[in-house]
Amino acid sequence: MSTRKRYWLMKSEPEDFSIDDLARVGTEPWTGVRNYQARNFMRDGMRIGDAVFFYHSNAAVPGIYGIAEVASTAYPDPTQFDASSKYYDEKASQEAPRWFLVDVRYVRTLAHPITLSEIREHADALGEEFALIRKGARLSVLPVTAAQWKLLSSLEKKR
């Protein structure tokens, strides 16, 4: 098993949960993911200490607004069992959960967001596998390579 740090991008709509909300609470369970590929990234790929770009989607200016880290191993998302939750899944059970999450811990807010338009300007360097800017890609949890992390991080320093 690799102990090498992994990198991720996690999207949230700021009116639902923003980087400022994460800064206020410190650590938060990343509930409500209902895409199997995104779930698998959290359940099978994420490790405590992995770095996370916190991305505001569906915002006036979409982009990376902060840095977080994975703070727990994956565990069943409790919202799948709560009939009053918009994330309730009647096919899930305590014995056979379908949806998993990780806790995410606040690290810092970027001095200036790295906007989606800035990210797109570097599409060639980021490569075709960078799902955020690939047509039709809508995942809320995305893997980021070490090289992509370095390039995107450098965009914050260029201001």
The pLDDT-based confidence of 3 (bands split at 50, 70, 90) is low
Task: Give the chain's end-to-end CA distance (angstroms, integer).
Answer: 39
The pLDDT-based confidence of 131 (bands split at 50, 70, 90) is confident
- Hey, CA dihedral for 147, 151, 32, 50, is it positive or negative? positive
What's the topology of domain 7-152?
Answer: ph1033 like fold (3.10.590)
**Domain range summary for the chain, segments of one domain joined by +:** 7-152
This model's pTM is above 0.75: yes
Q: Which two tokens stand for residue 144?
A: 């980021």
CB 65 within 8 A of CB 54: yes
Q: What are 30-40's pLDDT values in tens digits?
A: 999 999 999 99
Q: Residue 19, by phi and psi: left (phi above 0), alpha (psi -120 to 50) or beta?
A: alpha
Q: Which two tokens stand for residue 95?
A: 């014995």
What is residue 139's predicted lDDT score, i.e. its pLDDT? 84
Quick check: 26 pLDDT over 70? yes
Quick check: 100 pLDDT over 60? yes
Alpha-carbon distances of 57 from 94, 132, 159, rounded to whole Å = 31, 11, 22
Quick check: 22 pLDDT over 60? yes
Q: What is the mean pLDDT of the chain?
A: 93
What is residue 134's predicted lDDT score, i.e. its pLDDT? 81
